[in-house]
Amino acid sequence: MLKATNISKSYNGKLALKDVSFKILKGEIFCLLGQNGAGKTTTINIFLGFIKKDSGQAFIGNKEVGVDDVNQLTAYIPETVDFFSRLAGFKYSTSELEAFLEKTGLQTDAQHKRLSFYSKGMRQKVGISIALAKNAEVIFMDEPTSGLDPKATSEFTKICKELAAMGKIIFMATHDIFNAIEVGTTIGIMKEGVLAEKLNANEIDAGQLNQLYLETI
């Protein structure tokens, strides 16, 4: 379970989040829509422990962010497989690390190349491999389909659904309304630090979501 209870955060007196509350269960893909500056990335950064909230509580399972160690429970795309799995307390052989990369569909001939040679789609696959290697329960993604071509987006969507079927929670901040409908089980719309809407993805189509998004923001 991923849970936010009345989380608020300000920067230099300017409100970034205001009393944000939600609960996301195992196997859910939560797609959070909103304009730049709406509070999507701030929400992710609070759960990752990168910044401190001003008030409220953030939970991953029965552990409270900022109070308990939640590093092993989370993954953030992108990262690198061996380094971050070791940080989480896992030590894998080269063949085991290669197996995680193969599971996400990363080409064999690319597995030992530097990330600087990778396309964004390939780097996303590495990030997902890290989540598998860490056995993370929650995977955070910030604009994961930005810059991906349609084929890479389709592959990425398929992998996300497979992760959800394994019981992982995916929290995805995105501008991509159409991909949110395709991949999400739950969709939120954030405006000026407030979670204005939260709905089931199977109860709305892309056109309706687009209209609701425009009306909300």
DSSP label of 202: G
For 5-23, how does the pLDDT look when each residue is reduced to its tens digit (9 = 90+)?
999 999 998 999 999 999 9
Output the pLDDT for position 54: 96
pLDDT (0 to 100) of residue 89: 59
Q: Where are the beta strands (DSSP E) in the chain?
A: 2-11, 14-24, 29-33, 55-60, 63-64, 74-77, 138-142, 169-174, 186-191, 194-200
Q: Alpha helix locations (H) across 6-147?
A: 40-47, 81-87, 94-103, 120-133
Return the pLDDT at 144: 80
Report, as an integer, the average pLDDT of 47-54. 92
- Mean residue pLDDT across the chain: 83
Q: Pick 115 or 186 by higher pLDDT.
A: 186
DSSP string, 69-101: --GGGEEEES--HHHHHHHTT----HHHHHHHH
Return the pLDDT at 84: 47
Structural domains in the chain plus CATH codes: 25-53+64-216 (3.40.50.300)
